[in-house]
Structure formats: structure tokens, C-alpha cells
Amino acid sequence: MSVKVGQKAPDFEANAYIDGGFKKVKLSDYKDKWVVICFYPGDFTFV
């Protein structure tokens, strides 16, 4: 399964840490906004 530019970004829901607390984040909550999603291998890594 993979995505392509020019196509709809798949929606998702995740638990997230923000501002000292936890909340659910859904991509569809960001409708009408520019969004950058940054994937990275893991916390406490170096790059």
C-alpha cells in the first residue's frame, strides 16, 4: 500500500502528545489547512 502525489492523503486517527497532555488527532480535523506529516524512526534517535 502506498500513496502518490496528486492523490488524497489517507485519513488516520492517532493518540498524540501535545502541550503536556494527550489527545486524539485525526487528519480530517485539519481540513482546509496545509499540513506536513513527518515520519521518523524513533524517539531518542539522533538525526
Partner 1 sequence: MASVAARYNELQDLGVEVLSCSVDSQFTHKIWQEVELSKMVDGGVPFPMMADTGGKIGSLYGVYDEEGGVNIRGRFLIDPDGVIQAMEVLTPPVGRNFAELVRQVQAFQHVRKTGEPTPAGWQPGKKTLKPGPELVGKVWETWKIGD
* CB of residue 32 to partner 1, shortest distance in Å: 5
Residues within the interface to partner 1 (CB under 8 A): 1-10, 12, 14-20, 22-23, 25, 27-28, 30-45, 47
Q: How far is the CB of 34 from partner 1 (least distance, A)?
A: 4
**Least distance in angstroms from the C-beta of 28 to partner 1:** 8
Contact between 45 and 36 (Cβ < 8 Å): no
43 in helix, strand or coil? coil
CB burial of residue 27 (10 Å; 0-12, 13-18, 19+): middle
